[in-house]
Amino acid sequence: MPLYPLFADLRDRHVLVVGGGDVAVRKTAMLLKAGARVTVGAPTLVPELREWLQLERIAWRAGTYQPEWIDGAWLVIAATRSRPLNARIAVDGHARQRLVNVVDDASLSSFQIPAVIDRSPLLVAISSGGVAPLLARRLRNRIESLLDPALGSLLQLAQRYRSRIRARYNDLVARQRFYDWLHDGPVHASLRAAHPVQAEQQLLAALARRKEAQISGTVVLVGAGPGDPGLLTLRALRALSEADVILHDALISAPILDLARRDAQRIAVGKRGGALHTPQATIHALLLEHARAGKRVVRLKGGDPFVFGRGGEELAFLREHGIAYEVVPGITAALACAAYSGIPLTHRDHAQSVRLVTAHCQQSFNTLDWSDLARERQTLAIYMGVSQLDELTLQLLAHGRAADTPFALIENGSLPQQRTLAGTLGGLPTLAARHAISAPALLILGEVAAQANAAHWYGELLGEPARRVAAPRALADAA
């Protein structure tokens, strides 16, 4: 172990930063956040440091470096642009038995400043020993995505009641079970939902009970987006990493499931026309069974749970049965398919509104106001309509939509096998059949769809004639 890890309490302790530039700003900001009394030594200061000086947040030693500046400092940071000067500061500091950090020079430093994840009072520090600080920062970003922002509030709450928790649970094993409940149960969930008063009340109620608090099951409805794992939200990633059970739709891609906790139970509950079909009642029963067993359940749905995803039905069922829940929105197919095809859903010259429409069966067609849908200067984003393209085209044309209205039909949006078929409404069914477009596919209809011919950037572009858009130069060079 080349470095000894420690967390220094610098509150109201003197720290010297030598250097008055942008690097000194970054180091000083972190020290001020830790409550240190910072003195900056430099001939001149950049504007941000001058502002802090005027606000009396820092002190300033004006002029060229002098060894006596180090006297009284607990830590010294050399942040000048001169390596000989930084080396001299390091020698002087080490001679006075001070810990010295020379920015970007591990060989001269006696301590390293790690990449930090701040969920105060929880701190996670990552160090490469000065060998590869940029890699340490990348690791910090990856780990930070897995740590719930509410953890800081949870630890602050636990800190306030630590003595009462210790008094209530003398046995170490029982105390550990209580802290597990605190993290996995309703208190943490209430903090995530921005209900701090409710969280505190739940903690107090648990401490007042004679029996140990039992971990209650929860359900998180998670939108998995259109298929590209890179489009998952950070909250979705955290939910997958914490899940005991995952009930997932048929369209959830394998790379997304690979991001889940390795030992999580995965249950396919897909609904696909002409194939495997899980009744909604069965899904409800599974949610109830696993939540009542104290499990953390993720209901993983393609796109967004509340856009043609029956998320509202499942939420109503959970409410009816007293199951705690959260909802993590996802990027719905209309947004993702449009973006990956270079199509703006709204445009001040062409479309002032967007309509999200489902067309997966004849019953849904019978409820649509076709005269309203056929209006110009709006964008239609039609979900699950591949099997109904003939009827859809017929109805729109019959109710006044022009045959030369542009469309883009996006198959497997955001996935490597994405294909975008561009054309005009009059030829939609014929073109779709010619290119064997199949579900899942989303139809974008309206003037904005013409943008696909010029702005398309991902996957294959089909049309009259079919062509593939060249990758941007930067991407092509990288490849």
Report the C-alpha gap between 285 and 266 in whole angstroms. Answer: 16
Residue with structure tokens 């006596």?
A: 68
User: Which region holds residue 446: left if phi is over 0, alpha if psi is between -120 and 50, else beta?
Assistant: left
Question: Going along 368-418, which residue ranges are E strands?
Answer: 379-383, 406-411
Helix/strand/coil for 198:
helix
Q: Which residues pair with 223 in a beta bridge?
A: 301
Q: What DSSP state is assigned to residue 467?
A: B
Q: How far is CA 169 from CA 175, 209, 215, 243, in A?
A: 5, 12, 16, 27
Work out the number of other CB atoms within 10 angstroms of the CB of residue 92.
19
Report the C-alpha gap between 23 and 255 in whole angstroms. Answer: 39
Q: Which residues pair with 445 in a beta bridge?
A: 380, 407
Report the C-alpha gap between 172 and 367 in whole angstroms. Answer: 62
Work out the number of other CB atoms within 10 angstroms of the CB of residue 74.
15
The H-assigned helical ranges of 209-248 are 234-242
- Does 249 qualify as catalytic in the annotation? yes
Is 38 in contact with 11 (CB distance < 8 Å)? no
Is 299 in contact with 220 (CB distance < 8 Å)? yes
Is 189 in contact with 215 (CB distance < 8 Å)? no
Sheet holding 75-78, edge to edge: 58-62, 37-42, 14-18, 75-78, 99-102
* Angle between helix 280-292 and helix 311-320 axes, rounded to 10 deg: 40
Single-letter residue type at 314: E
Per annotation, catalytic residue among 92, 228, 249, 304: 249
The structure tokens listed for 410 are 């996006």
Is 227 in contact with 254 (CB distance < 8 Å)? no
- Does 271 qualify as catalytic in the annotation? yes
Report the C-alpha gap between 69 and 348 in whole angstroms. Answer: 61
Would you please indicate which residues are annotated as catalytic (active-site) residues?
A: 249, 271
